[in-house]
Structure 1
Amino acid sequence: MSKKNKTRKTTSSKIQVLIDIAKVELLNKGISRFNYEKVIKSAGLSKSTVYEKYGKKEDFIIFLIKSILDELYISFKKYVDELKNFDEILEYISNLNFDIESILKEYPIDDFFTNKRISTFVNNYFYQTYGQVIVNKIIEFQKQNEVRNDIDAIYILEFLISVTKGMGFLLKNRNFKEVVTNYRKLIENALKPIEKIIIVKGDANLGEK
């Protein structure tokens, strides 16, 4: 192997180390406390090499976020594609159990939305990838009469995004199960075809007797 090729291989392996270290640093410290210079030094690279490849701190963070979201996208799409009916989603939501306070302490999630450029990137990326997967599944459920089909799928997506934001806000100060239970009711009543809601409620009333 020539000296030039050996140098390229060494740099390439160090770049991978850089990315691995940087992802951990970003998830643990958030954007504002992310130490770009420290990460570069830990990977054994020069600032000029990394700056030339990825740009300054904000550009590099956007690259990292995209890389993380790209990795998560594969499993997310697989999960959504395998959903057979709307009740599966509602059951999944109901059975979730997180300690939100601990998560917020461990991972500075809020920090990702204080930077306008980064939050805009995440928002656009979501609609182009994750959002499209959800829209496709909504359309599929509409054809199966699992979800009301008198509303365009994109509006249902926007409703679900609003619900997610609302849940995130309330979870900071309220019990997880309480928030999830109430939002499940809202989602079910808003999106299920009216005749299915009537049947479910009718069965519940019969059960009470």
Structure 2
Amino acid sequence: MPTGWYLLERAPGGKGRHIRLGLYCSVACLVRAGEMLEAGAAEHAARMDLPTEEDRRRERARVVDIAQTLLSGGLTIRQAAESLNVETFTLKAWLKEAGIQISPAAAAPVTACSSGSSGSPGGVGSGERHPVSVLNELTQQGRIEAVTWTVESAGPSHAPTFTATAATRLLATNTPVRGQGSGASKAAARAAAAAALLAHLDAG
């Protein structure tokens, strides 16, 4: 037998023999094997232009960060997940792992609400509508100018980061207002920028 190998032979109940061949492996050996597997996976990902484990970790952290912005801007967890192209239960799990509490309002299902339900310019106090939709309503009501958008991308092709800027003017005071947000997709970046813009409008 080669060094490190063992042979186990049994003959239970007088029946045919059962032979098992195995290899002794120390903890250090297991660690080296794990490192070899990780290196192989990274090499394969680079060859196929696939995201690595580190890329996935960064992407998850980015999604969690954007989700916090969207939730603080008034979106529900479901709306935030849809904007980020992530399953709702997955986003909940990632937020929980990051130690982020989900407020009851954010966890509540989406319900219809009328514009002007609060003292804020857009009536977004209930925080249950998509921020881009709220901006469109404010434009139709003549409270703000039509929103202008700019979207830029950065990062590798397999994991780009989009940054959107939303700009408008509050017609009642002729005040320019801007909001900026980032996301893993153009839709997510626009939603984050819209949420930031609404936050500025509410603050004003």
| TM-score above 0.5, yes or no | no
Please state which structure has a larger fraction of its residues in helix. Answer: 1
> What TM-score, normalized by structure 1, do the two folds share?
0.28
Please state which structure has a larger fraction of its residues in strand. Answer: 2
Q: Greater CA radius of gyration, 1 or 2?
A: 2
> What TM-score, normalized by structure 2, do the two folds share?
0.29
